[in-house]
Structure 1
Amino acid sequence: MERFNAASAEDAERALLTCLHSPGWAVRVATHRPYPDLDSLLAAADEAAYDLPRAERLAALSAEALPGLPENAYSAAHTALNAANAAYESRFGHPFVIYVDDLKPDEVLDHVLEGIRSRLANDPEEERLVSGEELRRLARGRLTALLSDGNR
C-alpha cells in the first residue's frame, strides 16, 4: 500500500489501468490517494466503478476477454464457449465478463457457460447492471492481487 500511495500519479494510473481499462476510473482512484488501507482503496475503487459513465463502462467492457479455459479443456468446450460469447456480444454489444478468480480451475468452464446462457435471458438494462457489477468485481480482484504481489 505504501508503494502505491507514494507512486507518481502517472505510475499509479498506469498500474490501475491493468485492473480496469478505464482512464477516468484510474484517474479518480489515483487522485484520492493516500489510502490508509486496502479496504479503503477497494471502497474507493468500487465507488468509482459504480459511477462510470456509459461510454467509459462500455469501453472497459470491450477491453475484457473471456476467462481462459483450462489447458485440458476439450475442443467442444471451446466451440460452445465461442458460440455462446458470440451470441452474447450480438445481443448486448460487448464481450461477456464474469469474475472467476475465486473458482477452482476445473469449475471455470461450467461457471462461464452457465453464466453466459443465463444472462442471455436478461433484458439490456438488467444486463447493464450485471455486467457492471462483474466489471467492478474484476477490477477489485485485480487491484487486490496487484497490491498483494507488491508490484505497487
Structure 2
Amino acid sequence: MTGPTSTDPRSPTPGTAAFDHLPRHDAVAALLSVCSSPAWAEAVADGRPYHRLDALLAAADDRLARLDGAGIADALAGHPRIGERAIHSATSAREQAGMSDASDEVRAAMAEANAEYERRFGHVYLVCASGRGADELLGVLRERLGNTAGEETRRTRTELAAINRLRLTGLIVQDR
C-alpha cells in the first residue's frame, strides 16, 4: 500500500488540514466563532494538529468537559436567549430558525420560561435548537425546569457540546 487514500479513514479531512495549518491567533479566532470561551478556544487550538474532523470533535468535547465554571459562563455568554428577536449572530439566527414563525403566544411563553429558568439556574437556557420548532423548544425548556441544578449542569454541557460539534463541522466543511 502506498499510503492512505481519500476513502481511507486515516486520510486527513481537507478542511481540518487547513485548520491545522492556521496561525494560532487565526485558529483561536475561528474557534471563538464556535464557542465564546477563550479557555476552550485556546485549548482546542493548542491541541493541533488533528488531521481529521472526528479527532477535532473528540478534542473539542474533551476540552469542554474540562472547563471550569468560569469557562462555561464564558461559553454561555455567547448564546442569545432562545426566542429573542435580536440575535447577535447569523449562526445563532440559523440555529434558532424554528422560532422565526412562532406565534406571539409561544414567544411570550418562551420569554416567561426563559426568565424562570435564569432565576432558577443562574444562566441562559441553552439547547441545540437546530432543526427544532418553536413548540418543541418551549416544551424542552418547560421539561428542563424540573431538573435539579446538577442535572441541569450536565444537560447544559451536553447541549453546548452538541452546538459546538455542529458549528465545528460547519467551520471545517465550509473550508474545503
Counterparts in 2 of 1:70 and 1:39: CA distance versus 1, 3 Å: same
The question of 1:72 aligning with 2:131 is answered no
Equivalent AA in structure 1 for residue 161 of structure 2: R
Q: Which among 82, 87, 101 is matched to residue 111 of structure 2?
A: 82
User: Structure 2 regions of 5+ residues with no counterpart?
Assistant: 1-15, 83-95
Deviation at 1:68, TM superposition (A): 4.7
User: Structure 1 regions of 5+ residues with no counterpart?
Assistant: none
The question of 1:8 aligning with 2:23 is answered yes
CA deviation string 1:36-56 (max 9, x = no partner): 200000000000011111111
Matches of 1:44 and 1:31 in 2, distance apart? 11
Q: Which among 144, 147, 158 is matched to residue 133 of structure 1?
A: 158
How many residue pairs match? The answer is 147
Q: Which residue of 2 aligns with 1:38?
A: 53
User: Higher relative contact order at CA 8 Å, sep ≥6: structure 1 or structure 2?
Assistant: 1
Q: SS at the partner of 2:110? A: helix
Equivalent AA in structure 2 for residue 99 of structure 1: C
How high is the sequence identity, in percent, across the aligned residues?
36
Matches of 1:16 and 1:48 in 2, distance apart? 12
User: Does the 8 Å contact 2:37/2:71 carry over to 1?
Assistant: yes
The question of 1:17 aligning with 2:32 is answered yes
Q: CA RMSD in A?
A: 1.4
CA deviation string 1:45-78 (max 9, x = no partner): 0000111111111221132122354433221111
